[in-house]
Amino acid sequence: MSDTAPSVGFDALRDLRRRRQLHRLGNLDWFEAAYRVYLFGIFGGGAVLWISNSIKDEPVSEAVAADVLSHGPAVLGLLVAFAFMAGVRGGAQGGPVALEAADVVYVMLAPIDRRRALWKPAVQRLRSAVFTGAMAGGVIGQLAGRRLPGSTIAWFGSGALYGANLAAVWVGAALLAHTLRVPRWLATSLGLVGVAWQAAAVTWGVVGPFDLDGSLALWGWRVRGIDVLALAGALAMVVVGMALLRRLSLDALARRSALVAQLRFAVTMQDLRTVILLRRQLNQEHARRRPYVRLGVAGASKGFTGTVWRRGWHGLLRFPVPRLIRMAAIAAGMGVLQAMVVRGTTPAFLGTAVLGFVLGLEIMEPLSQEVDQADRADALPVERGELMSRHLFAPAVALLPFALVAAVAAWLALGAHGDAVAPALVLAFPTLLGGATGGVVSIIKDMPDPASAPTQQNFMPPEMVGFTTAIRIVWPIVVSTLTTCTVLLPRAAFERGDSVVAAAVRGALGSLLVVLLVFQWVRLRDRLRRKIRAFMDEGRAYTSQQRSSA
């Protein structure tokens, strides 16, 4: 009986999961699922192909190619170092496996081997991470292959291999940190040591711990057999982590199960703000109970604007240290990508737009908190648009130190030339502020509209619903892109021999103009919606009157 009980228990678990899967598939609308895949293929794959074929950047010179070959592994290895740090910290906080609440309550407490019960969820987590990393790496690789020696197909393969290895390092480090019960302080220390060591490899040319991982991305150009050790290291971490699955913390799985269920629902509802909040809770990233510096009431100006200003700064001064470090890393990444655009890699400004959008979601915490508490905002004797627009001032000023980080990163990426100091300083703050406006648009679009009729329904064909949903998701990124593509002006001025500083000033003014338009949109959005709604109601009333009289 004791020999067959574990097998019977595991057979019951497999049958339970099979029945649950069939139940979910039975409730799935296959037409809707196929239509979503169709939309993703059209907008996602079509956008990648269009961008890849429309950008005609010149191949790099021999000197630049030699520089990429010399410093590329260390720089790309720095990204793997960040993935390792994120994995170790995430594992110490309970990641990366997330189960449903029923699995935690019944399966984990059942008399069956816990490693066998956790094997399938762990493999699914690894599979999704590796697939996502490979696809992202392949897209970036084929873009890089249009300027570097080698075929585009080879660069796509090497980029996919690099992305898959990066994802495996993240998952493997998280599994090891979780199963070995690494304390949070030790996990943070290990991650920082790895990042600092790899940063030293980038700066001073020492041998870095993740140089071989970064060298995998250059297999589209040349192949080195020793780079296989990086794949072996990532595979070893994954294998050891999978072998120790039974050591996963039951308390951590229970805590994450409730959060992951809410996270999946928020993703389904396209509630980006809730997704961000739940991700912070998964990472156990909580705001400080007290700000670093408390502002006195006497120092603030009197009235409504001064109160909002003080509240905004108290919210920003409660940011935890990991969040500040993450924002500084995002700003540095924006500076490096802007420098790559200046050096001739045009698609890099799209990465700047995405990072600026993410930075906007991080820095606009005062605005987000006001949107989350809409009932309190509506109870104030102030027009909602005026209140929301005032919440943009403190985050805008808070971007100044991050703009300095971006300027220094761009200056170093451009070779630390003296001529690059002024353009980098001129463009840094407008670019960061402009990129953050995409986050502002995303936050404001999630704000409830109390003037709208809850019973009003829009009868549109599925094609129009899918199209409007895609526009809703892409529009904030488009706004960030408009404010970050101004770096193309200094590059064009440099190629023509004109004043680069003057071109940077024009680009900064263009970004600030878009920022001003977004500010006015936030301030006047409710007024415009009321006027449009009143105009439409008058039109419908007039049409109804004409029909009744006829």
pLDDT tens sequence across 63-102: 888 888 998 999 999 999 999 999 999 999 888 888 877 7
Q: Are 121 and 115 in contact (CB under 8 A)?
A: no
Question: Given CA atoms 404, 410, 413, 417 in this order, what sign does their dihedral have?
Answer: negative
Distance of alpha carbon 121 from alpha carbon 259, whole angstroms: 16
Would you give the distance in Å from CA 300 to the centre of its chain? 35
Q: Which helix (H) or strand (E) holds 509?
A: helix 500-549
pLDDT at 3 over 50: no
Here the contacts of 69-74 (C-beta below 8 Å, separation 24 or greater) are 69/218, 69/221, 69/222, 71/202, 72/214, 72/215, 72/217, 72/218, 73/211, 73/212, 73/214, 73/215, 73/217, 73/218, 74/198, 74/201, 74/202, 74/205, 74/208, 74/211, 74/214
Instruction: Provide the pLDDT for residue 13.
Output: 79
pLDDT at 271 over 80: no
Which range, 4-18, 270-284, 391-405, 417-431, has the best average confidence (pLDDT)?
391-405
Q: What is the mean pLDDT of residues 293-309?
A: 69
pLDDT above 90 coverage of the chain, percent: 40
Confidence of residue 350 (pLDDT cuts 50, 70, 90): confident
pLDDT at 159 over 90: yes
Least confident range from 43-47, 228-232, 404-408: namely: 43-47
Instruction: Provide the pLDDT for residue 38.
Output: 58
Instruction: Provide the pLDDT for residue 91.
Output: 92
pTM value?
A: 0.84
Distance of alpha carbon 311 from alpha carbon 295, whole angstroms: 9
The residue type at 406: A
What are the residues whose beta carbons fall under 8 Å from the beta carbon of 225, sequence distance 6 or more? Answer: none
SS (H, E, C) 234-264: HHHHHHHHHHCHHHCCHHHHHHHHHHHHHHH
Confidence of residue 39 (pLDDT cuts 50, 70, 90): low
Give CA torsion, residues 115, 120, 123, 128, to 10 deg. -150
Q: Count of H helices and E strands in the chain?
A: 24, 0
Instruction: Provide the pLDDT for residue 302.
Output: 57
Least confident range from 52-66, 158-172, 453-467: namely: 453-467
Mean pLDDT, rounded, of the chain: 84
pLDDT at 377 over 60: yes
Which range, 277-291, 344-358, 462-476, has the best average confidence (pLDDT)?
344-358
Q: What is the mean pLDDT of residues 492-511?
A: 90
Pick 35 or 126 by higher pLDDT.
126
Pick 170 or 258 by higher pLDDT.
170
The residue type at 414: L
Confidence of residue 241 (pLDDT cuts 50, 70, 90): very high
